[in-house]
Structure 1
Amino acid sequence: MISLSPAATREVLRLKSKQNNPHLSFRLGIQKGGCCDWSYTMGFDETQQSSDIVYQSDQIKIVVELENLKYLENLTIDYSEDLMGGGFRFQNPNTTQSCSCGHSFVAKSQ
């Protein structure tokens, strides 16, 4: 399961409303790179592949590629604002290390 805090849910819904397409899903993934081995990717997508895993968190459909699931299972996403602006925060039990920016990580051995 992947979950969003109430603050993250509000921010994702706010960003989605700017897209003017009610059929979009929130796509969450990873890519090689960042300060550590992997970094998180987030965006909106109208398509869904047969290999995608779909979660529902409140009003948001979260889509994850099956091959990324081992890195994202039980992930919690939060959103907070500070003097530097707002940002998503990731709490991932599948990591051994995260960078100080919090957007990239080293995965546990799979």
Structure 2
Amino acid sequence: MEKIVELTEKAAEQVKQMMKESGEENVYFRVGVYGGGCSGLSYAMGFEHQKREEDYEFEQDGLRILVDKESALVLKGTTIDYEQGAMGGGFTIHNPNAIASCGCGSSFRTATHAGTPEEC
């Protein structure tokens, strides 16, 4: 399966560390989007025990990654990075499909998917 999202080396290592710390080392890493946020769509990442029928599965750096078919439409070509700063660390998402995002950077919309914007 072709990669829908790409994790940088730092992001992949951080996900593996989080899996280890939570005792969830043999699970999937799910990346998706859902309606909401100021701009209409928000990102979601987490651990998943079961693959669903509507999921695409691919592997990178030893991680089994799931993206549902609907999320794949707006995530194709996205890069997930992990940055460590003075105030701690966090994931950053670079989505070439996003045409607008909110000031906090956690929600976005694309030319074809507006999502369900909420008031901020």
User: Please, what TM-score do these two structures have when normalized by structure 2?
Assistant: 0.84
The residue that corresponds to 1:88 in the other structure is 91
The size of the alignment, in residue pairs, is 110
What residue ranges of structure 1 are gaps of 5+ in the alignment?
none
**Per-residue displacement from partner, 1:48-89 (whole Å, max 9, x unpaired)?**
011100121111111011111101111100000112221111
User: Please, what TM-score do these two structures have when normalized by structure 1?
Assistant: 0.91
Following the alignment from structure 1 to structure 2, what is the Cα–Cα distance between the partners of residues 33 and 85? 26
Q: Cα distance 1:69–1:104, how it changes in 2: closer, same or farther (>3 A)?
A: same
Following the alignment from structure 1 to structure 2, what is the Cα–Cα distance between the partners of residues 69 and 75? 10
Instruction: Establish whether residue 6 from structure 1 lines up as the match of residue 15 from structure 2.
Output: no
> What percentage of aligned pairs have identical amino acids?
35
Instruction: Establish whether residue 35 from structure 1 lines up as the match of residue 38 from structure 2.
Output: yes
The letter for the 1-side match of 2:32 is G
Q: Cα distance 1:82–1:35, how it changes in 2: closer, same or farther (>3 A)?
A: farther
Following the alignment from structure 2 to structure 1, what is the Cα–Cα distance between the partners of residues 105 and 81? 11
The residue that corresponds to 2:71 in the other structure is 68
Shift in Å at residue 102 of structure 1?
A: 2.4
Q: Match of 1:102, SS?
A: coil
Following the alignment from structure 1 to structure 2, what is the Cα–Cα distance between the partners of residues 28 and 91? 13
User: Is the CA contact (8 Å cut-off) linking 1:89 and 1:103 kept in structure 2?
Assistant: no
Following the alignment from structure 1 to structure 2, what is the Cα–Cα distance between the partners of residues 12 and 46? 15
CA RMSD of aligned residues (A): 1.3
The letter for the 2-side match of 1:63 is L
